[in-house]
């Protein structure tokens, strides 16, 4: 094994249940500060567009961006409104405190490390978060599906992550994630080992059946180095 690649939300960042309509209402209240009715309608339209595009991800693994959501909802790409949307999500973005020492332990084992996340957010939002929490420098590369044509579990996403960290053989990679289909099925389908962090309450409508089981279950990030030692 030469590399370990991580999912972001629910893996490096513990799952936090958030109100998606409230997130879009934070955006809409900036666009329509003096018209609560218009703000409510805009928030509903943005949420509907967001949900529709995530259904496309589930069914066709097609990536999208926040700007695709806004275009579909007929909403402006207002920088201040997007800042409000981003700020709403801040409580759900805190990196697990176990991540930094775990990543240091992987580096001590001469492993390359990366991040691959299915996300609509601009990549620099995620990089700002990892930099804020003083962990970005522990990674050799990172890939966000908002910069790709496809999301996990499509092979293109995993191939892009390998390329970002300078690895070409999926059999030399371990993927760590919290979603049985997107993460475990996707990684194993391309030939990686896959480890499941089973702590995220994935919404029922986002689940996809899979018969590919993880190679291991990870109780916490701190346990990862010892768990993979037999594979090295």
What is the pTM assigned to this prediction? 0.95
| Nearest-angstrom CA–CA distance, 12 and 97 | 9
Question: How distant is the alpha carbon of residue 180 from its chain centre?
Answer: 14
Mean local confidence (pLDDT), 31-41: 98
- Average predicted confidence (pLDDT) for the chain: 95
pLDDT at 206: 65
For residue 153, whether the previous peptide bond is cis, meaning omega lies within 30 degrees of 0, is yes
Quote the pLDDT of residue 205. Answer: 67
Closest CA to 188 of 200, 204, 173: 173
Q: Between 204 and 136, whose confidence is greater?
A: 136
The average pLDDT across 89-118 equals 98
The pLDDT of 153-172, averaged and rounded, is 98
What is the average pLDDT across 163-180?
A: 97
The band of 211, judged by pLDDT with boundaries at 50, 70 and 90, is confident
Residue 145, both tokens: 């599906």
Lowest mean pLDDT among 92-96, 125-129, 157-161, 211-215: 211-215
Q: What percent of the chain has pLDDT over 90?
A: 93
DSSP code, position 34: T
């Amino acid at each position: 094994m030469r590399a370990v690649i991580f999912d972001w939300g629910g893996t490096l960042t513990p799952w936090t249940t958030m109100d998606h309509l409230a997130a879009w209402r934070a955006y809409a209240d900036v666009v329509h500060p003096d018209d609560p009715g218009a703000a409510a309608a805009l928030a509903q339209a943005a949420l509907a567009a967001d949900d529709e595009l995530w259904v496309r991800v589930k069914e066709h693994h097609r990536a999208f961006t926040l700007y695709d959501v806004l275009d579909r909802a007929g909403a402006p790409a207002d920088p201040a409104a997007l800042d409000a949307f981003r700020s709403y999500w801040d409580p759900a973005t805190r990196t697990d405190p176990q991540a930094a020492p775990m990543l240091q332990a992987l580096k001590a084992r001469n492993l390359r490390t990366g991040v691959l996340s299915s996300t609509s957010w601009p990549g620099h939002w995620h990089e700002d978060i990892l930099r804020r929490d003083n962990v970005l420098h522990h990674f050799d590369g990172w890939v966000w599906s908002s910069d790709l044509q496809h999301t996990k579990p499509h092979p293109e996403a995993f191939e892009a992550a390998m390329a970002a960290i300078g690895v070409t053989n999926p059999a030399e990679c371990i993927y760590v994630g919290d979603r049985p289909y997107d993460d475990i099925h996707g990684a194993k389908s391309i030939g990686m080992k896959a480890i499941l962090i089973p702590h995220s309450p994935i919404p029922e409508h986002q689940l996809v059946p899979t018969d590919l089981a993880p190679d291991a279950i990870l109780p916490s990030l701190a346990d990862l180095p010892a768990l993979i030692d037999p594979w090295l």
